[in-house]
């Protein structure tokens, strides 16, 4: 049997780029599905807008085998629920959730043949719904729910499925966030203050190489959990989430992310 092949979405930058780098170093053949090419030598880049099902199908038709699929591509929007347009909401879900389903569906014939693995990049926002980042949080909650259901569906085929739940990571994700301050007067400046907290935390977050290392570990783990939280700080926080009532957790998140003037 030849080298194993990993397909990584969004490997042209950030977490995806570092994941591709780490997988290459670990001896994998790496295929990048992204609108822009991965800059790493040795990575095969297939131009692909994963929100376009025809492009996704064509991309997987061009790949001989798939042993590992890393769903990573995504972006974030911020703003008040009341003031966010339907088109923005749909675009958030199209890329962060529905496109992932399309990619998984296209990859499954090859994954079934290899008895491979799917790793979905999630976020602590899946369990700590962040005010003024509600739609991003909702997409990650959907990803984790999908992960757990897929895990049961695909187990008879020898395909393992898991999610990596991340905390704050320092990447270009912060600058790429689509921010809407619409209605901030109505919300007494709380939108801007909340987004400022998010951006500060992200820029002081984990390096993307730490996430890439976690992906490589998860790729080899014999007993892959449904969800793996990355980083000691976030493991503790997610553990606390299980101990406290939801009302207390929600109040704590609001206190952190909506500071007083």
Active-site residue, selected from the candidate residues 4, 12, 234, 257? 12
Measure the CA–CA gap between 85 and 77, rounded to whole angstroms: 11
Active-site residue, selected from the candidate residues 45, 78, 136, 234? 136
Output the six-digit token pair for 201.
Answer: 């935390």
Give the three-class secondary structure for 243.
Answer: helix
Contact 14, 76 (CB under 8 A): no
Contact 65, 114 (CB under 8 A): yes
CA atoms within 13 A on the CB side of 48: 33
Residues 10, 166, 241, 152, CA torsion sign: positive
Contact 174, 76 (CB under 8 A): no
Confirm whether 187 is a catalytic residue: no
Burial class of residue 71 in the structure, from the number of CB atoms within 10 Å of its CB (0-12 exposed, 13-18 middle, 19+ buried)? buried
- Reference 150, options 190, 120, 126; nearest CA is 120
Active-site residue, selected from the candidate residues 4, 78, 123, 140? 140
Confirm whether 140 is a catalytic residue: yes
- Reference 121, options 8, 236, 238; nearest CA is 8
Phi (first) and psi of residue 73, to 5 degrees: -55, 140
Active-site residue, selected from the candidate residues 122, 123, 129, 134? 122
Catalytic residues: 12, 122, 136, 140
């Amino acid at each position: 049997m030849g080298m194993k092949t990993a397909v990584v979405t969004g490997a042209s930058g950030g977490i995806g780029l570092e994941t591709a780098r780490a997988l290459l170093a670990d001896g994998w053949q790496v295929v990048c599905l992204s609108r822009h090419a991965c800059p790493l030598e040795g990575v095969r880049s297939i131009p692909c807008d994963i929100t376009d099902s025809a492009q996704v199908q064509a991309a997987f038709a061009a790949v001989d085998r798939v042993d590992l699929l890393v769903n990573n591509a995504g972006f974030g929007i911020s703003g008040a629920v009341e003031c966010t347009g339907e088109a923005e909401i749909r675009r958030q879900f199209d890329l962060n959730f529905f496109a992932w389903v399309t990619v998984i569906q296209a990859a499954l014939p090859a994954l079934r043949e290899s008895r491979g693995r799917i790793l979905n990049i999630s976020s602590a926002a899946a369990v700590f719904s962040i005010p003024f980042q509600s739609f991003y949080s909702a997409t990650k909650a959907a990803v984790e729910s999908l992960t757990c259901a897929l895990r049961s569906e695909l187990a008879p085929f020898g395909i393992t499925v898991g999610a990596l739940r991340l905390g704050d990571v320092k990447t270009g994700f912060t600058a790429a966030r689509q921010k809407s301050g619409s209605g901030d007067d109505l919300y007494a400046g709380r939108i801007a203050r909340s987004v400022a907290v998010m951006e500060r935390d992200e820029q002081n977050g984990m390096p993307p190489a730490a996430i890439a290392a976690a992906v490589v570990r998860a790729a080899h783990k014999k007993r892959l959990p449904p969800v793996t939280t990355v980083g000691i700080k976030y493991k503790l926080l997610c553990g606390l989430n299980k101990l406290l009532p939801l009302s207390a957790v929600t109040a704590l998140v609001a206190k952190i992310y909506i500071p007083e003037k």
